[in-house]
Amino acid sequence: KAGVTQTPRYLIKTRGQQVTLSCSPISGHRSVSWYQQTPGQGLQFLFEYFSETQRNKGNFPGRFSGRQFSNSRSEMNVSTLELGDSALYLCASSSLTGGQTEAFFGQGTRLTVV
């Protein structure tokens, strides 16, 4: 069974630009969560999608948005990039069936804003 796939692995963008990151969850998993990881703030929850609906949202500005498609693949978008958005963005997929709620992470997308 393939794991969680995130693309691209690395990205360099300029301040003010926008960026879209992609996540393909484990086959059969319907929940996709996104996290931002920075050295100073650790792993911070961005949002969770389940069956194409956003179910939970963290404390991030509206510049951060996401969506989920019918095949459970998810994208997150950051508009008007700021230097502070430089981070490792991690996607986690969960089955959420049968009481098993483990989250499995992808390798992440390393975003650098210059």
HSE on the CB side for 112, CA within 13 Å?
5
Residues 6+ apart with CB under 8 A from 42: none
List the interface residues with another protein, window 42-101 (CB under 8 A). Answer: 42-43, 45, 48, 50, 55-56, 58, 90, 92, 94, 96, 99-101
Which residue lies nearer to another protein by CB, 62 or 99?
99
Question: Which residues form the interface with another protein (CB under 8 A)?
Answer: 4, 6, 31-33, 35, 42-43, 45, 48, 50, 55-56, 58, 90, 92, 94, 96, 99-108, 110
